[in-house]
Amino acid sequence: MLKSSKGITLVALVITIIVLLILAGVTLSILFSTGILDNAQHAVNLYNEKATQEMDDTNNKLNDIIYHYLENYHATNA
């Protein structure tokens, strides 16, 4: 009498895990050897620098608008 096989065997599971680990190792070695992570960090730093500069510029413009408004307000109500 033949046994009906249901599910996966332990050997198939181990082989699948080994293949996935090999693929992960290859992927990580490519990421580190090509400098992609360094380039990504550099891009993040540039983005943060530009965002800070834009926020400062916007803040300065708003301060100028408020200053001129208050200056005109005090000149007309003096």
**Rg for the chain, CA atoms, rounded:** 31
4 pLDDT higher than 70: no
pLDDT digits (tens, 9 = 90+) for 29-38: 888 888 888 8
Angle at 63 between CA 58 and CA 65, to 5 degrees: 95
* pLDDT value at 1 more than 60: no
